[in-house]
Amino acid sequence: MDRPNIIINCAMSVDGKIASPSGKQVRISSDEDMRRVYHLRHNVDAVLIGIGTVLNDDPKLTVKEKYVEHPHQPIRVVLDTYCRTPLEALVVNETAKTIIFKGENQPCSKKFNDTVTVLSAPTQNGIIDIQNTLDQLSKQGIKTLLVEGGGTVIWHFINKGFFDDVFVYIGSMIIGGKHTPTIAMGQGFKHEKEFIRLQLMDIKRLGDGILLHYQPALI
């Protein structure tokens, strides 16, 4: 399979949460980590999220000049099976190009601006097929892809083994909540032999938190 180099990046609390109990975005990263994230975006061809992140957080997914001088704006990619991305969402503004992947049998009559491209991909149980998406992105010339979430999207990438690097920033806070979103929100693995093993490449203190860098374990 021809796919981009994939970096998964996320920030979590000490107890492994990535949002509030209601699913709303919370600021976990320090200023030092935010600078790192913007440099990551600056250095990749595209950055990807799911529709849940669009509806809950309304991110721009752009690079701020405050953190990067003369920033390169990556292509923004949204996995959106039912084409629910609002026309007024920041992720489809004209600051950068955007690709929306909808289900191949789902209509999408919305009139986005000229910076937005809507592509179709197969689905399974309402989820966009990740492999097909990566194939299409490769054909678009995307060689490096940053996956920022949310937890369901990250789960599907990890479950399929579609990642080369994982960066996890641990902020110095506890959020709590039995059903609060975590990094990997999927069904999980029933048996220990199925667990995805990682190798720790680096540990770094950033502000009042810690950045962990992992790669797939060599078995």
Domains of the chain: 5-216 (3.40.430.10)
* Average pLDDT for 53-79: 95
Backbone angles phi, psi at 151, to 5 degrees: -60, -35
- pLDDT, one tens digit per residue, over 133-151 is 999 999 999 999 999 989 9
pTM of the model: 0.95
Question: Which positions ≥6 away from 145 have C-beta within 8 Å?
Answer: 4, 5, 6, 7, 44, 45, 46, 47, 48, 77, 134, 137
Identity of the residue numbered 112: F
Task: Give the burial string for 141-176 (b: 16+ CB within 10 Å, else e).
Answer: ebebbbbbbbbbbbbbbbbeebbebbbbbbbebebe
Q: What's the residue count for the chain?
A: 219
The single residue listed with the structure tokens 């990094």 is 183
Strands 98-103 and 198-206: unpaired
In this predicted model, what pLDDT tens digit does every residue of 29-40 receive, in sequence order?
Answer: 999 999 999 999
pLDDT score for 187: 83
Would you state the pLDDT for residue 164? 97
- Tell whether the model's pLDDT for residue 219 goes beyond 70: no
Tokens of 140: 């678009």
Looking at 81-85, 120-124, 179-183, 184-188, which range is the least confident one?
184-188
